[in-house]
Structure 1
Amino acid sequence: MSRSRENSTEHASADVVIVGAGFAGLSAAERLSSLGVSVLVVEGRDRVGGRSFTGEVAGVKVDLGATWIARRHTAIRDLAERVGCTMTGQFADGRNVLWMAGKRRTYQGTIPSISPAALVDMARVQMALEKLLSTIDVDAAWTSPVAAQLDRISFGEWLDQKRALPSTRALMAVVSKVQWGASPGDVSLLHALRYIRSAGGLEHMLDVEGGQQEERVFETTQEIAVRLAERLGERVVLDAPVRRIAQDDEGVTVFTDATTITAQYAIATSAPAHRADIEFEPALPEASEGLTRTWRMGALSKAFVAYEKPFWRAEGLSGEAITDTGTVFITFDVSPGEDGPGILMAFCDPRVYDGFSPEIRRKRVVEQLVGLYGAQAETPIDYIDHCWGTDDFAPGGPNPAVAPYATTSYAGALTQPHGRVDWAGVETAGEWAGTMNGAVLTGLRVAERVAARVRTAERSLG
């Protein structure tokens, strides 16, 4: 890689330029470097990590974005271990709280036990989902045998057709808001099935013990990316949003506000909707353009409320709660230990949250925690939140909220290279789409493919 400065514009070159310093981009850069391919990673934000972002409340670092790592997430676990990060179990001892239809109850297990009828209905709907999941090709759901039929309706419309009880719908709404940052009616049934299948099934998606919420990273998930970027050193450039990518038969040229980078190939890790923020020359094909327009990002907000101690534990509560009304719709206990501080992580509905001042947001969250956990929740010692839907750069998350028809129409463009530009990122994953593990796997997969193209080009020149 070489750099020069000419007329106050920096010029750089590498074999491969990577757009985005999230887990996909950094993993691709590390793998390419290990294969002897020179790389340069350009990131529009002033930090690495993408949708993993560290905050601090009551002196404790917390995950404002991506949080959990399952036992089966071997790629991200291996990466965390290599950079010296450690896992800590998600606290789940005790009874969970349920606020539904204006009543507060407690329960144990993953599925709230409102009544025998509610349990039977949830089991019935889950069995119907499992039957549909068996038809889904996790690597290309849009080519599945009944994909067109499944993509015609929303997840919410399917629940209507199944005449799901309000309790079942409420739980599925929580799943939808956490996974896609949208309500079931906003998400195609096929899109929902693709993500549920990629997560290892509904039970694995929902469970703490043995499931997708089993462990957190003690140092926070962004710290994994920070330490990996430190290993890559000057090959990672921050505050460098990519404005244009041009290509011809000789290579690619990537333009940021201050730098022009030439390379043989490029890897873009932007979410499909954010590919539209980059001008491509030649232009993207029609299917890719359609992908950027229809695969809009969902929106999800998180708040962390700190107390002197995790007082709910003394009352036999796990700190996990589900609600069907208000700003907060699910909570978890992310306290560092019994001695405090006690920290509740709350997922918040952006429709009744993002547009208000920090003071009002805090007031709304605390009031709801009082209803869930009692009067002691009224006096927190600290508070922090983050609204991903209003993020300054590449807003939205955690995943795309894809409406009916858009998966079968455009998902084939997720991984189809555009000439010398290849794609990675969590949305392009098959298995583990929507997780940090999936992001790492896509980076490794595309790195191998692009390295092979570089070697082929070198042999032809030789």
Structure 2
Amino acid sequence: MAAKSRDGHVWTPVGGFTTGIETDAVISPQTSISTSHNNVYDVVVIGAGYAGLAAVRDLCNQKQSVLLLEARDRIGGRTYTAKKDDFLYEMGGTWVTHHMGYLFREMVRYGMDRDLITTGSPNMEKGFYTINVAGVNPRKLSHEEAGAMQAKAWDMFVNVDGQYGRTICPLPHAQLDNPIVPRSTVEQWDKVSCQDRFEEIKHKLTSEEQGLLVSLLLHISGGNLEDSSLWDMVRSHALLMHSSDNFTDVWLRYKLRDGQTELAKRMFQEAKNDGLNFAFSTPVASIKQSASGDGPVTIRTVNNQTFRGRKVISTIPLNVLKDIQFSPPLSQRRQEAINIGHINHMTKVHADVSNKELERWNRMRFPGHLMYGYADGALPNGDVHIVAFGKDDRETFIPENDANKTIDALNDLHPMHVKRLLLHNWSTDPYSKGGPAWWRPGYMSKYQDELQSRHGNILFASADWAHGWRAAIDGALEQGTLNARTAFQENNNVRPKDNIVGNLLTRALSMCVPHSYDDIAVTRLIRGEFDRTKVPQHPVPHMMPSTGDHESKPAGGIKIINASLFRMGTKSMAEAYTILGYRTHHAIDDPFTVPWHLIEEAAEGKWPDVPGARPRRPYTRSDWDAIWGSYDVVTDVASPFTMDLAQAYPDAIFVVVQRDFDSWWSSFESEVLGWCFFRGAQPLVAIFSIFGLRSGNALRKCFLGFFNAKSLEDIKSNAREAYDRYFNDVRRLIPEERRLEHKLEAGWAPLCAFLGKEIPDVPFPRLNDRAAHTAHSRANFRNSLSLVVRNVLYWMVGVFFVGYLAWYLQGHLFSRD
């Protein structure tokens, strides 16, 4: 007999509702660790659902020290299998398919990919379907007829582009980052609700078809039409290979013969065999890390136990995250997403009934507390198992609180004699607070990137924000797998393999560049052509402090953002930060070491309408890390992206240095714009870019985008508006406690007090006046021009040599007597 979990409810006519369901998912003993928790684990994983199980299994396979914390007494999270009288009841996620890549991999790994059963009893086609829509006489029809009605309505609903979503969601695992559809197009579609779309097409449907469609949409989303995103329906259709022919096969047909819990147990056992530590019945209360990202993360439980890990992977569901205290606090955008949450508060009820005629029956009733009923096989004693589903009716219907109302709702579907009820109400469950996530209009495009991003050394993995099969088992496995890989790589300093071709070309090109153009710069130049997503994350040697603790510290992301524009003392501030021991990036110091191709891509992603922009996605934390992740402070060239960096690095603090507009504009126009937009600049920029020198392209696109301009004349016209907007946004969006308003003439005192540093025994730097900047810019221009000329000469010599060699071989080795 299986152990009884604290989860779920069972009802019988004699005993009424009782709490707790028998399941093999319960883990005994509940913990494998001692009362002493002084260990610092490589990774602490919170949550033993499929995301957590995938993460701990993969990490333990890699010989990481791993601790799994779970609030429940069992594995599986929102997916587990109940056992009663030798029959299996799936209480959460149920169906499987070979079309879900991450899930199929797990099924193959544990030999379960062919050990499947189908929903319902054999010969379901011999059964019947009943439909009952308000205002229309109820009737009986075949499963085939009902399926055709449903497919007609569904296809009409999702066919928003005339191609069943193919042109707007061609790659459902890359909704915002695919090479075909601009992000702005997706954002527009994401604003549309299911109610909006239904109003567009309802006149083309009969009353029955309307009822079928609306009830199906509510069945899927678990909410209401106004709050249900049309985009999520289109994405779901794309995951069906853009065809409703696959609806049943992918979503409703196949189940694991031994149940979902058997798969979860095999994953858990493999991790356990590889040294997993675990503690069940251990809900988490808070997660704390240092603001700098140094040191381990500390997890405190509701019972005041503490655990520490170098990395934490949280699989806590979206609607529960608000119950966890994070220190430092989560970003404003993530907190906003969490407070909004998802809308799925579906109802799922298992019923054992004595009506044998219902063994091959399905039913739809709308409206109703339970809208769908499915016959799901015969029990060993001959009774019939029914699974029923409803939408969010929490205000009037809590199944476990009123057995009579639940049984009445089942009888509204079809008269039946109920002998037993089993259910798990995910909405009243404090560790889920809802079913599988379904999002509101506009939520995906605004919050998905943020929900998937990290918070310092805390990674977030949940099906609730998966790339592809969000709200499904496959999405949970995806997120657990991806975040485990990230944690392992960072803990072990694993980097992608070097590009062999790039290395060879680096050696070749290094013979053709000035000696001042160091190996890092050459490597970046080559990888800019061969691998545009990876730049060596090492600070330029002369920019690193020569003394102090920072020298040996691993990079933890940007800590300070110098929020000021070019020609606002950025050189002086950069020198000040360096004196204080920070790794500081000031691009104009040595422009040959800057990954300009990545900055250009960032500009194209942020301002897709600038002249010459290629289709790009907006940058996320990992992209910014590729540019500045190894620095503590960013200045000058980062300023156009200040608010993007604020979102990507929610723990960063800001130092605002603002120069009055008139004096700044005079200097900026002559000393910066003058070098980017002088007469004849465009041909030179094009020539330089051929040789990988893309600073001109990048800066021009940054400035045109920042000033909302198409030309230099537009920049001049929009200058004051852009200046005001920039500083207004910084002060409006960055809280005062994270922001210092600094003036260069104030010197060290306010800056050091804000940063918690001792005042250095050297004068505050005042560098890079107009004359010095002009001289520096001219020197950089001469070096660039010299590099191009030398490369041209070397290539000409190379071409001549190859030609001469070919002539020589032709005349001396291959000539005939």
Q: Is the CA contact 1:133–1:193 (under 8 Å) kept in the aligned structure 2?
A: no
2:153 pairs with 1:105: no
- Aligned partner (choices 193, 210, 232) of residue 271 of structure 2: 232
- Paired with 1:196 and 1:36, the residues of 2 have a C-alpha distance of 40
Q: Is 2:119 the partner of 1:90?
A: yes
1:78 shift after superposition: 4.0
Structure 2 SS opposite 1:387:
coil
- C-alpha separation between the residues in 1 aligned to 2:215 and 2:65? 44
Does residue 24 (structure 1) correspond to residue 61 (structure 2)? The answer is no
What residue number does 1:434 align with? Answer: 471
1:243 and 1:123 mapped to 2: Cα distance? 45
Flag structure 1 segments of 5+ consecutive residues without an equivalent.
Answer: 372-376
- 1:319/1:451 Cα in 2 relative to 1: closer, same or farther (>3 Å)? same
Please state if 1:294 is matched with 2:340.
yes
- The CA distance in 2 between the partners of 1:287 and 1:26, in whole Å, is 28
CA contact (8 A) 1:327 1:365 kept: yes
Which one is further off, 46-55 or 164-173?
164-173
More helix by share: 2
Give the alignment partner of residue 307 of structure 1, picking from 353, 365, 385: 353
Q: Contact 1:414/1:427 (CA < 8 Å) preserved in 2? A: no
Q: Provide the residue aligned with 1:211 in structure 2.
A: 250
List per-residue Cα deviations over 1:36-94 (Å, max 9, x = no partner).
21211111122211111333455522012111112313432443454565421123433
1:246–1:199 Cα change, 3 Å: farther
Do the aligned partners of 2:79 and 2:90 also contact (CA within 8 Å) in 1?
yes
- 1:355 Cα deviation (Å)? 6.3
TM-score scaled to structure 2, two decimals?
A: 0.50
* Partner in structure 1 of residue 79 of structure 2: 52
Shift of 1:245: 1.2
280-289 or 82-91, which deviates more: 82-91
Could you list the structure 1 runs, at least 4 aligned residues long, displaced by more than 6 angstroms after superposition: none
Decide which moves more: 31-40 or 303-312.
303-312
1:152 paired to 2:188: no
C-alpha contact (below 8 Å) 2:42/2:310 kept by paired residues? yes
Distance 1:56 1:71, change over 3 A: same
Q: Which has the higher contact order (CA 8 A, sep 6+)?
A: 1
CA separation in 1, counterparts of 2:145 and 2:485?
39
1:382 corresponds, among 415, 420, 424, to 420
Question: Which of 143, 163, 167 is residue 134 of structure 1 equivalent to?
Answer: 167
Is the CA contact (8 Å cut-off) linking 2:319 and 2:434 kept in structure 1? Answer: no
By how many angstroms is 1:211 displaced? 2.4
Q: Whole-Å Cα distance in 1 between the matches of residues 378 and 454 of structure 2?
A: 44
Distance 2:140 2:151 in 1: 15
Q: 1:154, CA displacement in angstroms?
A: 0.9
Distance 2:342 2:87 in 1: 33
Mapped partners of 2:257, 2:494: distance in 1: 43
**Distance 1:176-1:369 versus aligned 2 partners, 3 A rule:** closer
For the residue of structure 2 that corresponds to 1:163, the secondary structure is helix
Q: What is the RMSD computed on CA atoms of the aligned residues?
A: 3.0
Q: State the partner residue of 1:242.
A: 284
The aligned residue for residue 580 of structure 2 is none
Deviations along 1:148-169, one digit per CA (max 9) or x if unpaired, are 3223231111111233534444
Match of 1:347 in 2: 389
Matched, 1:282 2:320: no
Equivalent residue, structure 1, for 2:433: 395
Q: 1:54 to 1:271 in 2, by over 3 A?
A: same
Contact 1:299-1:396 within 8 A present in 2 as well: yes
CA distance in 1, matches of 2:464, 2:397: 26
Residue 258 of structure 1, CA deviation? 4.0
- Between the aligned partners of 1:276 and 1:199, the Cα distance in structure 2 is 33
Relative to structure 1, the CA distance from residue 312 to residue 145 in structure 2 (aligned partners, 3 Å threshold; closer, same or farther) is same
Instruction: Compare the two structures and name the one with the higher strand fraction.
Output: 1
Residue 415 (structure 1) aligned with residue 444 (structure 2):
no
Secondary structure in 1 matching 2:88 = strand
Alpha-carbon separation, structure 2, partners of 1:243 and 1:250? 20
How far did 1:204 drift?
6.2
Separation in structure 1 between the aligned mates of residue 332 and residue 224 of structure 2, nearest angstrom: 28
8 Å CA contact 1:414–1:428 kept in 2: the answer is yes
2:314 partner letter: A
Paired AA for residue 183 in structure 1: N
Farther off after superposition, 135-144 or 243-252: 135-144
For the Cα contact (< 8 Å) 2:42–2:65, is it kept in 1? yes
Q: 1: distance between equivalents of 2:475 and 2:145?
A: 24
Paired with 2:366 and 2:329, the residues of 1 have a C-alpha distance of 45
Residue aligning to 1:251? 296
**Alpha-carbon distance in structure 1 between the residues aligned to 2:254 and 2:70:** 28
8 Å contact kept, 2:44–2:68: yes
- For residue 300 of structure 2, give the secondary structure of its aligned residue in structure 1: strand
For residues 192-234 of structure 1, give each alpha carbon's deviation from its aligned partner in whole angstroms, at most 9, with x where no partner exists: 3334434544626731xx3221211233213322342234335
Q: What is the CA–CA distance in structure 2 between the aligned matches of 1:370 and 1:3, rounded to whole Å?
A: 51
Verify: 1:220 aligned to 2:259, yes or no: yes
Q: In structure 1, give the amino acid aligned to 2:175.
A: A
Q: Where in structure 2 are the equivalents of 1:160-179 lying within 5 Å?
A: 160-164=199-203, 165=205, 166-179=207-220
CA 1:74–1:409: 2 relative to 1, 3 Å:
closer
CA contact (8 A) 1:301 1:348 kept: yes
CA distance in 2, matches of 1:428, 1:97: 36
Structure 1 residue 414, shift from structure 2 partner: 2.1
Q: Structure 1 residues 355 and 308 mapped into 2: Cα distance closer, same or farther (>3 Å)?
A: closer
Counterpart pick for 1:14 among 22, 38, 41: 41
Distance 1:366 1:276, change over 3 A: closer
Give how far 1:398 is off: 2.2
| Distance of aligned partners of 1:251 and 1:13 in 2 relative to their CA distance in 1, 3 Å threshold | closer
Letter of the aligned partner of 2:96 in structure 1?
I
Query: What residue number does 1:192 align with?
Result: 233
Instruction: In structure 1, give the amino acid aligned to 2:219.
Output: V
1:273-314 per-residue CA deviation (whole Å, 9 max, x = no partner) reads 32222111111112211221223241111112213474334x
Q: Structure 1 residues 201 and 41 mapped into 2: Cα distance closer, same or farther (>3 Å)?
A: farther
The Cα shift of 1:333 comes to: 2.1
Q: Which residue of 1 aligns with 2:409?
A: 365
How has the CA–CA distance of structure 1 residues 157 and 249 changed in structure 2, closer, same or farther, with 3 Å as cutoff? same
1:370/1:75 Cα in 2 relative to 1: closer, same or farther (>3 Å)?
A: same
Structure 2 SS opposite 1:365: helix
Go from structure 1 to structure 2 and tell me whether the alpha carbon gap of 1:380 and 1:27 turns closer, same or farther (over 3 Å shift). Answer: same
> In 2 relative to 1, CA 410–125 (structure 1 residues): closer, same or farther, beyond 3 Å?
closer
Distance change in 2, residues 1:103/1:110 (3 Å)? closer
Contact preservation (8 Å) 2:240, 2:247: no
| Partner secondary structure for residue 48 of structure 1 | coil
What amino acid sits opposite 1:276 in the alignment? K
Q: Partners in 2 of 1:393 and 1:102 — Cα distance? A: 42
Q: Provide the residue aligned with 2:613 in structure 1.
A: none
Higher gyration radius (CA): 2
1:240 to 1:325, Cα distance in 2 relative to 1, 3 A: same
* 1:11–1:169 CA distance, 2 compared to 1 (3 A): farther
Count of residue pairs brought into register by the alignment: 441
Indicate the SS of the match to 2:98. Answer: coil
Corresponding residue of 2:521: none
Specify the SS of the correspondent of 1:244.
Answer: strand
2:250 alignment partner, SS class: coil
